[in-house]
């Protein structure tokens, strides 16, 4: 029993320190972009945020603090639309959260440039965002993480044909099979 109180006290001190550490590092990386910064008290990708953010936003709105959680509930983009961009007077801004930063763009040319850079391999999507799509195995969206991208993408997009014994459908060398 003597060790329980100091352990709980240390945990209660460590959690806010860890949270502030994450927010500080997210803020530093967002500051480097030079874009306007909006703070979000929790990460929008968090399962807890999916469940509770709407409740907290309604509660804060009733208490007159709705502007503080304006961008902190799931689906705010649908209701706000272009209003934040017009109010800030910029075509882009960054939402800083403890988990990661979120970049929001309103300029179609910039969005097209981001997608083109992703296709060229200069920008990659986070693996945790793509893992959701692997429920039924690799698909055309999640194949970019495969070390044999060309082989997998050919297998997913071409019609099935009999395979050669020495290589894959697209001619890439297959890794050796295990003998288990």
Residues 147 and 176: their CA atoms lie apart, in Å, by: 15
Parallel/antiparallel/unpaired status of strands 37-39 and 92-96: parallel
Residue with structure tokens 């979000």?
40
**20, 98: one domain:** yes
**36, 98: one domain:** yes
Rounded-to-10 torsion of CA 157, 158, 163, 164: -100
Closest to 95 (Cα-Cα) out of 113, 112, 74: 74
- Give the tokens for residue 99: 């988990």
Region 32-36 average pLDDT:
93
- The 8-class DSSP code of residue 160 comes to P
**42, 57: one domain:** yes
pLDDT in tens, 121-133: 888 777 777 777 7
Is the whole model's pTM more than 0.75, yes or no? no
160 or 64: which leads in pLDDT: 64
**73, 57: one domain:** yes
Length of the chain counted residue by residue: 180
């Amino acid at each position: 029993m003597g060790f329980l109180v100091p352990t709980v006290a240390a945990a209660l001190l460590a959690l806010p320190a860890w949270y502030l550490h994450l927010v500080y590092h997210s803020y530093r990386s967002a500051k480097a972009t030079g874009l306007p910064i909006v703070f979000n008290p929790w990460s929008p990708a968090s399962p807890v945020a999916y469940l509770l953010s709407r409740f907290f936003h309604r509660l804060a709105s009733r208490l007159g603090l709705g502007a503080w959680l304006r961008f902190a509930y799931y689906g705010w983009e649908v209701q706000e639309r272009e209003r934040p961009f017009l109010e800030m007077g910029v075509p882009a801004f960054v939402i800083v959260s403890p988990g990661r930063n979120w970049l929001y763009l309103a300029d179609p040319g910039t969005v097209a440039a981001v997608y083109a850079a992703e296709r060229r391999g200069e920008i990659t999507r986070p693996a945790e965002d793509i893992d959701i799509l692997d429920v039924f195995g690799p698909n055309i969206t999640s194949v970019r993480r495969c070390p044999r991208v060309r082989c997998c993408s050919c297998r997913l997009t071409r019609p099935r044909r009999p395979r050669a014994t020495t290589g894959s459908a697209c001619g890439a060398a297959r890794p050796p099979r295990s003998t288990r």
